[in-house]
Amino acid sequence: MSLRLAFEIVLITGALFAGGVQSVAQNRSVYTSLDAKQCRTIKTETTGAGDYEGRCRGVGGYSLMLLEGDLRQNIVVVTPKGAKHSLELWDVISGGFSSVGPKAEWRLAPRNGPVALIFRYDIAQEDPAKRISYLTVAKITRNEICVTDKISPGPNANNEARLAADSATTKPCLKQ
């Protein structure tokens, strides 16, 4: 192999690598509220299990429906065209008593809109004072919206969740 050819391969490889890193690095975060007080209430039942359904603002024409029943919460992602995609948190993350955190982090790719969603999902334990708080990552593609990652609590959980979100579109959906 000639020195010139080797040099060109190194340049092309470097340019491809830099381009890939740059596109992920350009993803940015936008936060929206999941607080029921800031979402529009669609349905509420104060008797029995206290069912609740609310519509929360999103980005790029997307919105989030917050559902609660039997002290468990779920999120449904609503596309700009009105298609609804349940994240099935009760089955995919945990069937225990649960609640979502107060905000959603949307990962936005340049000129493509949202590619992923990150939010906190708290699971109650036997001792009600103790909870496990996971970061949940859902991919957003034209064909599929689903949970791809469940990030355990830890000092680097936020960074892990963003890295997972930035590569979520190529990952399979988590199953029960």
Read off the pLDDT of residues 87-121 as tens digits, 9 standing for 90 and up: 999 899 998 889 999 999 999 998 888 999 999 99
Q: Could you tell me the pTM of the whole model?
A: 0.82
Q: Three-class SS of residue 8?
A: helix
Query: In sequence order, what are the beta bridge partners of 114?
Result: 108
In a domain, 175, yes or no: no
Q: How many domains does the chain have?
A: 1
Q: What is the pLDDT of residue 76?
A: 97
- Domain with 123, as residue range(s), is 28-170
In a domain, 88, yes or no: yes
Handedness of CA 40, 43, 45, 50 (dihedral sign): negative
